[in-house]
Structure 1
Amino acid sequence: MPTHRDLKVWQRSHDLAARIHDVTRGNPAATAPDLVSQIRRSAQSIPANIAEGRGLRTNPQFRRHLDIALGSAAETDAHLSVCLDRDLLSAKLVLDLRDELSTIQRMLVALKGSLPQR
């Protein structure tokens, strides 16, 4: 039986969370530990909610968790704005992360729309 690991959106969001963890590991991002913690947690929440929703095995619960994952993606984007404003991450890196985040958001919306209503 397929699991969350088989979903491309989970794979991409998992990779994004790992990448955000890596890019916030060094200076100057390390000078803002609260922000680093927040962006890491919001990024990690995206694949975690996909996995949890998939594991619950009902479409209404899965849709609800996809909505939560979308909320976490929006939160991650907001944290990226603060990182950019505070010169913690380069503009090029933030743009690249946002591009991937936008793709993940579109995939989440498409996946949610593909689920039967009942």
Structure 2
Amino acid sequence: MIQHNFRKLNIWKEGIQVVKETYAMTKVFPKEERFGLSSQLQRSAVSIPSNIAEGTSRSRNRHFRQYLETALGSAFEWETQLIVSFEVNYLSRETFDHLSEKIQKIQNQIIKFMNSLKD
């Protein structure tokens, strides 16, 4: 049985940073988005490190990979919501570019980590 300490994983730490930046970003969204796009961004952001953490509790790497796949899916969902936020002019180009780069880095890190896990 292989156990990972999620607090030591860079992908988890990076995920936490996305959560923090998401909450800061959505504070300036219009009030009518509180239960719409803001909520979706926040939920998908929180899902990234949450699934990584939950996956570390699994006794087999193939089960851990399933949680990493879910985290990866949430990262792609979050990226899509980020694009929508930019397209409807809720974000500056600078913020969009910064966060796009950050989420793509996390996506690549998750993929590499998944590929490194042996059964």
The two structures have a TM-score, normalised by structure 2, of 0.91
How many residues were matched structurally? 116
Q: Residue 42 of structure 1 contacts residue 72 of structure 1 at CA under 8 Å; is this kept in 2? A: yes
**1:97 alignment partner AA:** L
Q: Aligned to 1:93, which of 95, 100, 108?
A: 95
Q: Aligned to 2:80, which of 78, 81, 100?
A: 78
Secondary structure of the equivalent of 1:56?
Answer: coil
What stretches of structure 1 of length at least 5 have no aligned partner? none
Distance 1:57 1:22 in 2: 35
**Structure 1 residue aligned with 2:53:** 51
Deviation at 1:2, TM superposition (A): 4.7
Q: Aligned to 1:65, which of 62, 67, 75?
A: 67
For residues 1-118 of structure 1, what are the structure 2 equivalents within 5 Å?
2-26=4-28, 28-33=29-34, 34-116=36-118, 118=119
RMSD (CA atoms): 1.3
Deviation at 1:90, TM superposition (A): 1.0
The percentage of aligned residue pairs carrying the same residue is 32
**After TM superposition, where is structure 1 displaced by more than 3 Å over at least 4 residues in a row?**
28-31
The two structures have a TM-score, normalised by structure 1, of 0.92
Distance 2:30 2:10 in 1: 29
Distance 1:3 1:87 in 2: 39
